[in-house]
Amino acid sequence: MAVNYVPSTLDEALLLRKDRKAIPLAGGTDIMVQGKRGLGLAPQLDRPVMIISHLKDELGGIRKDEDGSVVIGAIATAAEIASSDIVPWHVRMAASGMGAIALRNSATIGGNIGNASPKGDLPQPLILLDAEVVLISFDGERRMLLDDFIKGSKTTDLHDDEIIASIVIPPHEFTYSYYRKIGMRKANAISKLSLSAAATIKDGLVVDFRASSGAAGPKVIRSREAESMIIRRPVEDIEGIVPDFLEAWDHAISPHAMPRYRRNTTSRMLTRFLEAIVNGEPEGIVR
């Protein structure tokens, strides 16, 4: 039976990580369910768990760096993220749609990323925004794109001695933004499908275009290949590209269950977003 810990400091946590491969628990909303054993029984995992929810000075907080990047501490909760003015819109939307209030008060961004569930709410907009994850260990710090960090369903590149320290979202400005989560019901629901999209138009040219699909494959899907079909093209060309783009995106996603629904809805959402660009709708949020 694994022994579980409450380290007093970040160094103790890193040591537990290195020596015992302890699993970090910040909010517990995933781990407590994964290890659930029934009424009156403490959850158990195959490895020790270390509770780090109190290491707020080291691992919490949300700030904006001088270069405009937003740094979100790993144990920042969904509620904190949802109510922060400096967090980009896509991420705030996803955070505010995570579970219900009580869950958002516990669930953390580090946990949501580390769990790497295809249905996780936060990775999808973070990957859209080219967010990086900062990993720390006694050997120092490692940074990588979140898109590379999450390797597949429930698998990440986290080394056995590392802890997720923070997420860094580079600055960006979009002309159009889109976010949609379809849950199993209107609130307090796991994602059935989600999509983020963003585009920047300058002088009639689409200079940035990106999209990311959640719950449509083993991990969040971004297709740079499909995106490149639209980037640096004049707005008036887009309408003609839409069918090929949708086909390319459809190839990129690989929904397992409800494939028809997930594919068709993804296409309809992307169509709606592109339609806003084509029609030159007012800048801002596309609904």
Partner 1 sequence: MPLTGIDDKVVRVDAEAKARGEARYVSDYVLPDMLYACMVRSSVPRARITGIHLPELPEGYYFISAKDIPENGRNELWMIAKDWRCFADGDVRYVGETIGLLVGKDRNILRYLQDNTRIDYEEGVPAVTIDDAIALKGGPIVGEDNVMCSLFCEKGRPMKDVFNEADSVFEETIETGFQEHVHLETNGALITEEDGRYVIYASAQCPFYIRKSVAGLLGISPEDIIIRQTTTGGAFGGKEHFPDVLCGPLLVAESVIHKPIKLIFDRSEDMLYSVKRHPSKTIFRTALDKEGNILGIEGTIYYNCGAYLSASYVVLQRGVFHANGVYDFPATYLKGVGVATNTFPSDAFRGFGAPQTLFAIETHLDHIARRFGFDPAEYKSRYFIKKGGETVTNGHIIEEVKLPEMLSRLAEASDYYRKAEEYGIGSGRGIGISFYNHGGAFTGNGEQAIIKAHARLVKEGKRVRIEVGSTEMGQGFQTALRKIAANTLGIEMEDVDYPNPDTSLVPDSGPTAASRSTMIVGKIVEECAKEMKERWDEGDFSVEKEYVHPEGHPWDQDTFRGDAYLGYGWGAAVVEVEVDRITNEVNTVGIWSCHDIGHAIDELIVHGQVNGGIIQSLGYAAMEKMENRNGHFRQESMSDYVIPTSMDFPKQEWSLVDNPYQWGPQGAKGMGELVFNGADAAYVDAVERALGITVTKIPIPPEDIEEALENA
Partner 2 sequence: MHRQIEFRVNGNKVVYSGDPLTRLVDVLRDDLRLTGVKEGCGEGECGACSIIKDGRLVTSCIIPVGACLGSDILTIEGIRDTEKGRCIVEAFRDGGAVQCGFCIPGMVMAAYVLLSSNPAPTDEEIRVAISGNICRCTGYDLIVESIRLAAERGGALWQ
Residues that bind partner 1 (CB under 8 A): 37-41, 100, 180, 182, 184-190, 192-193, 258, 260-262, 264-265, 268-269, 272
Q: Does 184 bind partner 2 (CB under 8 A)?
A: no
In angstroms, rounded to a whole number, what is the distance separating the alpha carbons of residues 271 and 15?
50
Binder of residue 261, out of partner 2, partner 1, none (CB less than 5 to 8 A by kind): partner 1
Which residue, 15 or 182, has its beta carbon nearer to partner 1? 182
| Alpha-carbon dihedral sign for residues 272, 274, 279, 280 | positive
Single-letter code of the amino acid located at 183: G
Place of tokens 């020790």: 48
Centre a 10 Å sphere on the Cβ of residue 207 and count the other Cβ atoms it contains.
Answer: 13
Binder of residue 103, out of partner 1, partner 2, none (CB less than 5 to 8 A by kind): partner 2
Q: Does 25 bind partner 2 (CB under 8 A)?
A: yes
Which residue, 14 or 168, has its beta carbon nearer to partner 2? 14
Q: How many helices (H) and strands (E) does the chain have?
A: 12, 13
Binder of residue 202, out of partner 2, partner 1, none (CB less than 5 to 8 A by kind): none
Residue 33 Cβ vs partner 1, minimum distance, rounded to whole Å: 8
* CB contact at 8 A, 221 and 213: yes
Could you say which of 19, 42, 239, 287 contacts partner 2 (CB under 8 A)?
A: 42
Ordered strands of the 205-214 beta sheet: 205-214, 191-202, 176-183, 284-285
Could you say which of 5, 217, 233, 250 contacts partner 2 (CB under 8 A)?
A: 5
Q: Does 103 bind partner 2 (CB under 8 A)?
A: yes
Binding window for partner 2 (CB under 8 A); candidates: 23-31, 135-143, 162-170, 204-212:
23-31
Could you say which of 21, 36, 47, 232 contacts partner 2 (CB under 8 A)?
A: 36
Centre a 10 Å sphere on the Cβ of residue 233 and count the other Cβ atoms it contains.
Answer: 16
Residue 12 Cβ vs partner 2, minimum distance, rounded to whole Å: 6
Q: State the pairing for strand pair 150-152/155-156.
A: antiparallel
Centre a 10 Å sphere on the Cβ of residue 71 and count the other Cβ atoms it contains.
Answer: 18
3-state helix, strand, coil in the chain (%, to 5): 35, 25, 40
Residues at the interface with partner 2 (CB under 8 A)? 4-8, 12, 25, 27-29, 32-33, 35-36, 38-44, 49, 51, 53-54, 79, 99-103, 105-106, 186-188
